[in-house]
Amino acid sequence: MDSTAPIVAEFRDVHFAYNTRQILKGINLKVPRGKIVAILGASGCGKTTLLKILGGQMAPARGSAHVAGQTVHELDTDQLYALRKKIGMMQQQGGLFSDLSVFDNIAFPMREHTDLPEDLIHDLVLMKLHSVGLRGADRLMPAELSGGMARRVALARAIALDPTLLMYDEPFAGLDPISLNVIANLIRQLNDALGVSSIVVTYDVSESLKVVDYVYFIADGVVVAEGPTEEIIHSSDPFVRQFVDGRPDGPLAFHYPARPIAEELAI
């Protein structure tokens, strides 16, 4: 990680639990300006929870999350809404408003959070759509879009207010290989073109390693491995190798903890 780059987002010793189930047990990670950071781990390890804490939807039980120098859970409502204008979010499955056209989906945050005149909003929306290759689809409804197109529209909406931080929650899930490659390339291109910082939360190791700068692996509530992408690809760490190579067993067990099967069966 570039130690000289300003830090846009950071988790410091973050703990979180759902009732008695401890999810995060002391997470520490940083997102420098201009970089794409991947948070990788198995389903249910707390990746999406980290994004919710960073966006102020949840508060950590212990520790703190910071964006642009502000401690998120200490902000009042007005301060939190102001901070969220600096954060773009691409949700799982896109999260488009089904009753609004593609154009109106992207115009929505501009109309909601700015006083820009409608003619300027029109031009900005078309520019955002052009950046993801869908300017000609501005009048389509979400139901008329393919899965890959819907993700691209969601990406255009995420950059509608020119955020300083972009967060992607499972951006590759459910996509065909062509659409997946398009989305991955767009994440890289937009990050570099806009000069923003990005967090990619995913379990798709192979695709994320093509576009990110730095990787954190999470398991059992803590960061178990981290490093620049090139180091991760060639790492001999058993946990990293299990994920990169897609091995069913390793430090992360395939079977959920249980009694021996012979004790469970009537044999």
Q: Does domain 7-246 have CATH number 3.60.15.10?
A: no
pLDDT band (50, 70, 90) for residue 135: very high
Provide, rounded to the nearest whole percent, the portion of the chain with pLDDT above 70: 95
| Of 45-54, 85-94, 203-212, highest mean pLDDT | 45-54
Joined together, the tokens standing for residue 109 give 């945050």
- Cβ contacts of residue 51 below 8 Å, gap of 6+? 89, 167, 169, 199, 201
What integer is the mean pLDDT of 124-146? Answer: 94
Q: Where are the domains of the chain?
A: 7-246
What is the Cα–Cα distance from 87 to 67, expressed in whole angstroms?
A: 9
Residue 186's nearest CA partner among 230, 126, 131, 145 is 131
pTM listed for this prediction:
0.86
Q: Is residue 2's pLDDT more than 60?
A: no
- Looking at residue 70, its pLDDT comes to 94
Tell me which residue of 97, 73, 74, 70 sits closest to 86, measured CA to CA: 70
Residue 266 has pLDDT above 70, yes or no: no
Average pLDDT across the chain, whole number: 89
The model's confidence at residue 246, banded by pLDDT at 50, 70 and 90, is confident
Using one digit for the tens of pLDDT, what is the confidence trace for 249-260? 666 666 677 888
